[in-house]
Amino acid sequence: MKTRNLVALILGACFAGLAAIGIGGFVLFKTVSGMIAQSEPVTLALATVSREPLVVDRVGPPLTARLLGGTITIRSSGSAGHAEMDSDCVGSKNHVRVIMSADKVDGVWRLDRLAYVLDGERHEVLPAPRDSLRSF
């Protein structure tokens, strides 16, 4: 009888520990995702894409980033930095994939490349630099 109780106690403790780790990981992920989604280059990209007539008509406002399916890299040091994003975003009517690259020069973020994919069709908002070797 005591062995059964001990096994149940150990299994319960293991389950509680795993649940705590899972909840902690989820909270950390949501916190970091929220910070990235509100960063200057991401905000600039979403604001620019949100003004595109096709996005306004078929995706609808407000446009928000869902970083679960995308990637983002931000490197910033004082007045210089670089950011890239490839993420699914959602509006009130539909979803759209936003792809951007931005550089921070003298403390100001500027979009180098901005495109969106809507219903499988790619639309360039800002063209890629001609000397770029990256393929988005």
The yes-or-no verdict on residue 98 having pLDDT over 50 is yes
Architecture of domain 40-136: Roll (3.10)
Q: What's the pLDDT tens digit per position in 121-133?
A: 999 999 755 544 4
Q: Could you give the C-alpha distances from 7 to 16, 18, 20, 59, in angstroms and in order?
A: 14, 17, 20, 54
Q: How far apart are CA 136 and CA 130, in angstroms?
A: 13
Q: Residue range 32-52: average pLDDT? A: 78
Average pLDDT over residues 84-111: 90
Q: Where are the domains of the chain?
A: 1-37, 40-136
Mean pLDDT for the chain overall: 79
Categorize the per-residue pLDDT at 27 as very low, low, confident or very high, splitting at 50, 70 and 90.
Answer: low
Q: Which residues contact 130 (CB under 8 A, 6 or more apart)?
A: none
